[in-house]
Structure 1
Amino acid sequence: METLDKFDLAILTELQADARLTNAELASRVGLSAAPCWRRVRALEEAGFITGYHAEINRRKVGLGVLAFVRVDAERTNGAETKRLEEAIKKLPEVMACHYISGAGTFELQVVAQDLDAFSRFARQSLINLPNVKDLHTSFSLGEVKSGGALPLGHLVKPAG
């Protein structure tokens, strides 16, 4: 599966909005019968367009009131050292996301914690002690405007003609 048609795009759009749709409801919304819809969903999964399904949990409701963005500066940027740091970051459940970044720093982490004291302990006991870490720079979220949004798919729609 290299290209997506209007049904595939509709399936992706609907599943991003509500991954708990039954196949029958999904099929109805995208204008297919149940069996072809199911086959398309499976094909989208196998081709890697759909990588998983998950529940979105309110972090505050589970006691994680702090959201921090931490820029990690690495000591050295050779392949082996960077790989060690990557693997160590992947093991930290407090790190919700990790990205290589351009400009100053090596990684940008999205970190959750119960409160500022818990974040401080995590930063001093875990983050600064990761392999190859030179320095940390932290910014705290003062409020979420938008998070966990659906990916825009409009650029994949072929113009009529």
Structure 2
Amino acid sequence: MEILDKFDWLILNELQIDGRLSNAELAARVGLSAAPCWRRVRALEKAGFITGYRAVIDRHKVGLDVLAFVRLDAERNRGDITRELEQAISRIPEVISCHYISGTGTFELQVVARDLDAFSAFARDVLLNLPNVKDLHTSVSLGEVKSGGALPLPG
């Protein structure tokens, strides 16, 4: 599956808005009958266009009131050391997103915590003790304007 047609794009758009749509509802929204729609969804999953389904949870409702953006500076002198740091970061549940970045810093992390005291302890006890970390630079979110947005797909 290399080229997507208009129905594939419509399916992707609808599913990223509501991944819980029944196949019948999805088919009706995109203008297909149920069986071809189901086959297309399975093909999109198999080809890796759809990588999963999940619930979006309000972090405040579960007691995670702090969202921090942490630029982590690390020594980039060897690829194996950078990969070791990547693996260590990927195992930390409080890190909900991590990007290898250009410019100043090595990684940009999104970190959640119960409160500022918990975040401070986490930064000091966990992040600063990761392999090859030189420094941390943190910004705390004062409020979310937009998060978890859908990708701007054609169709």
Structure 1 Cα separation of the partners of residues 77 and 127 of structure 2 = 17
Once the 2 structures are TM-superposed, how far is the Cα of residue 69 of structure 1 from its aligned partner?
A: 0.2
Partner in structure 1 of residue 152 of structure 2: 152
Q: Secondary structure at the match of 1:112?
A: strand
TM-score (norm 1): 0.95
What does residue 57 of structure 1 align with?
57
Gaps of 5+ in 1: none
Distance 2:77 2:59 in 1: 33
Q: Give SS of 2:99's match.
A: strand
Q: CA deviation at 1:78?
A: 1.2
Deviations 1:48-86 (A, max 9, x none): 000000000000000000000000000234111001000
Deviation at 1:136, TM superposition (A): 0.3
Output the CA distance in 1 between the equivalents of 2:123 and 2:50.
34
- What's the CA shift for 1:90? 0.5
Displacement, 1:118?
0.4
Show the counterpart of 2:139. Answer: 139
Q: 2: CA distance between counterparts of 1:135 and 1:115?
A: 22
In 2, Cα distance between equivalents of 1:25 and 1:19: 11
Q: Tell me which residue corresponds to 1:10.
A: 10
Residue aligning to 1:26: 26
SS in structure 1 at match of 2:122: helix
Q: Counterpart amino acid of 1:91?
A: R
Shift of 1:116: 0.1
TM-score (normalised: structure 2): 0.98
What percent identity do the matched residue pairs reach?
77
List aligned pairs for 1:1-150, cutoff 5 A. 1-150=1-150
Q: Give the Cα–Cα distance (whole angstroms) in 2 for the partners of residues 57 and 25 of structure 1.
A: 24
Counterpart code for 2:24: A
Amino acid at match of 1:128: L
Q: How large is the RMSD of aligned CA atoms in angstroms?
A: 0.7
After TM superposition, where is structure 1 displaced by more than 2 Å over at least 4 residues in a row?
none
Aligned residues: 155
Q: Structure 2: which 5+ residue stretches go unaligned?
A: none
Partners of 2:93 and 2:12 in 1: how far apart?
Answer: 28
**Paired residue type of 1:26:** L
